[in-house]
């Protein structure tokens, strides 16, 4: 089922107060004669007219999909230019899905993305065109390194003046270039707090650095000394993807992450009648 069946024009017309949207495309969506979202259109004008938020979670385990779920193009949301907050949980979300997002959702100030794909700087470059964005959170498979590096991160830092929180819960490759850009930014606005989070994996060269660990410094502070002296209005947190000797922790966390993209029949049956906001 593609997002084009969502008929955003109808939602925009009947839900003028709708500013927050959550699209969670799970495995095992029930396939009927019409797409699931299409079937609820008759309820929109009666039930959702005054809702400021809407959560769409398709999660019925009655049938197995004959083909992968298709998110479709975000162009379908261009009639909903009033959206300020959006969350997408979709295992096949990739760089191309985010292309031209600034043309379809220009008022977004908060964006949360969860995927199993390896996003790259191309995705961050697309997001850097969202001129009023304040919060960006990107999640992908733990312990898998993406192609996100200084280039994409700096695109966001330099081109989004209102950005306050950048959380990259995915494997990234950062150097002093990123930290220099962050310091330059917060020094321009000393009264604004900026939060940056990232995940990393040690290289062979960094492993040799960590051979001389200090009781007073974290591993990240040894590799990036700049972290030892941050401006008061800059908070940086990080996590190392360190698999250890056996690697069982990485497999456990990956499986737990994958569970977010599948349905839980017991949970769904017990959540009936409750709209999660």
Q: Residue ranges per domain, the chain?
A: 1-67
Query: What pLDDT is attached to residue 8?
Result: 59
The helix (run of H) or strand (run of E) holding residue 151 is: helix 150-159
pLDDT truncated to tens, each residue of the chain (277 aa)? 444 444 556 666 667 778 898 888 776 544 444 433 333 344 343 344 444 555 555 444 433 444 556 677 788 788 788 899 999 998 989 999 999 999 999 999 999 999 999 999 999 999 999 999 999 999 999 999 999 999 999 999 999 999 999 999 999 999 999 999 999 999 999 999 999 999 999 887 777 777 665 667 788 888 888 898 899 999 999 999 987 666 677 888 999 999 988 865 444 444 444 433 3
pTM (global) more than 0.85: no
Query: What pLDDT is attached to residue 198?
Result: 96
Query: What pLDDT is attached to residue 270?
Result: 43
Query: What pLDDT is attached to residue 74?
Result: 82
Contacts of 151 (CB under 8 A, 6+ apart): 121
Query: What pLDDT is attached to residue 60?
Result: 40
For residue 21, the cross-strand partners are 54, 86
What 3-state DSSP class applies to 58? strand
Query: What pLDDT is attached to residue 195?
Result: 97
Query: What pLDDT is attached to residue 263?
Result: 67
Query: What pLDDT is attached to residue 102?
Result: 95
Contacts of 271 (CB under 8 A, 6+ apart): none
Query: What pLDDT is attached to residue 12?
Result: 63
Contacts of 122 (CB under 8 A, 6+ apart): 95, 152
Return the beta strands (E) in 10-109 as ranges.
20-25, 53-58, 85-89
Query: What pLDDT is attached to residue 39?
Result: 38
Sign of the Cα torsion 219, 223, 225, 230 reads negative
Query: What pLDDT is attached to residue 208?
Result: 75
């Amino acid at each position: 089922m593609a997002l084009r069946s969502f008929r955003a024009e109808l939602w925009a017309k009947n839900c003028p107060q709708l500013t927050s949207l959550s699209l969670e495309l799970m495995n095992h969506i029930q396939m009927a004669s019409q797409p699931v979202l299409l079937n609820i259109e008759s309820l929109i004008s009666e039930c959702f007219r005054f809702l400021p938020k809407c959560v769409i979670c398709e999660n019925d385990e009655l049938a197995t999909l004959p083909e992968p779920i298709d998110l479709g193009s975000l162009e379908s949301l261009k009639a909903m230019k009033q959206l300020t907050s959006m969350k997408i949980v979709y295992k096949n979300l990739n760089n191309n899905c985010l292309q031209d997002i600034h043309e379809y959702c220009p008022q977004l100030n908060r964006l949360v993305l969860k995927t199993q794909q390896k996003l790259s700087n191309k995705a961050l470059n697309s997001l850097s065109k969202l001129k009023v964005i304040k919060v960006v959170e990107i999640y992908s498979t733990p312990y898998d390194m993406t192609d996100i590096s200084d280039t994409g991160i700096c695109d966001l830092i330099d081109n989004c003046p209102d950005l306050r929180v950048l959380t990259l819960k995915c494997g990234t490759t950062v150097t002093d270039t990123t930290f220099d850009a962050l310091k330059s930014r917060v020094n321009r606005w000393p009264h604004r707090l900026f939060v940056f989070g990232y995940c990393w994996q040690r290289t062979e060269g960094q492993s040799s650095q960590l051979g001389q660990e200090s009781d007073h410094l974290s591993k990240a502070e040894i590799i990036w000394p700049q972290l030892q002296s941050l401006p008061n209005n800059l908070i940086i947190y990080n996590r190392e993807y360190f698999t250890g000797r056996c690697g069982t922790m990485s497999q456990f966390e990956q499986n737990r992450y994958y569970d977010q993209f599948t349905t839980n029949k017991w949970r769904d049956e017990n959540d009936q009648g409750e709209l999660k906001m």
